[in-house]
Amino acid sequence: MRAWIVFLCIVYLSQPGILLAKGDPYIGGLRNVRGKGMIERGQQRLVAKNGIKIRLNDVLVTGKNGAMGVIFNDGTRISLGPDSRIEITKYLYQPAHEEYGLILKMMYGTAYFISGAIGKAAPESVRFRTPVAIIGTRGTAFLAKVAPKN
């Protein structure tokens, strides 16, 4: 019996996905990654690759020749050109409880934003912050260019 419990614990611990899934629900993933890019997750630095799942508070960074796309589970899409940096500050998509929110913070670079279900259900909850202005959207697509701070 004891051996069986130990075995189960090992199986459980050896699959970080299972543990992480509890507190860190999947919110989206990387697509069409080109050149150099990474995800800053707390102290971790992950090399950007197609299919990597992203989490709340991840910071997505592209290098000089880098570009990457992100699709969120509500269908919101954002893609970054070279030398760009964006943080996923808030992401809330709980239609069963009618809770919505999306805040992205772009420090610099170029981005293409295409609204998804959050923007449709609660457009006023979508905010795109930059050092020079805040962009609000009403169910649409837009392009943003933000100069790096000198």
84 CB neighbour count, 10 Å cutoff: 25
Residue 88 backbone phi and psi in degrees, to 5: -90, 95
Number of residues that bind another protein (CB under 8 A): 51
- By CB under 8 A, is residue 53 in contact with another protein? yes
56, 57, 82, 89: which one binds another protein (CB under 8 A): 82
Which pair of structure tokens corresponds to residue 122?
């609660």
> Closer to another protein at the Cβ: 6 or 134?
134
46, 55, 56, 69: which one binds another protein (CB under 8 A): 69
Distance (Å, whole) CA 122 – CA 24: 23
Angstrom CA distances, 41 to 1, 17, 60, 135, 145, stand at: 39, 16, 9, 25, 24
Report the interface residues with another protein, using CB under 8 A: 17, 25-26, 28-29, 31-34, 50-51, 53, 67-71, 73, 75, 77, 79-82, 84, 95-96, 98, 110-112, 114-115, 130-147
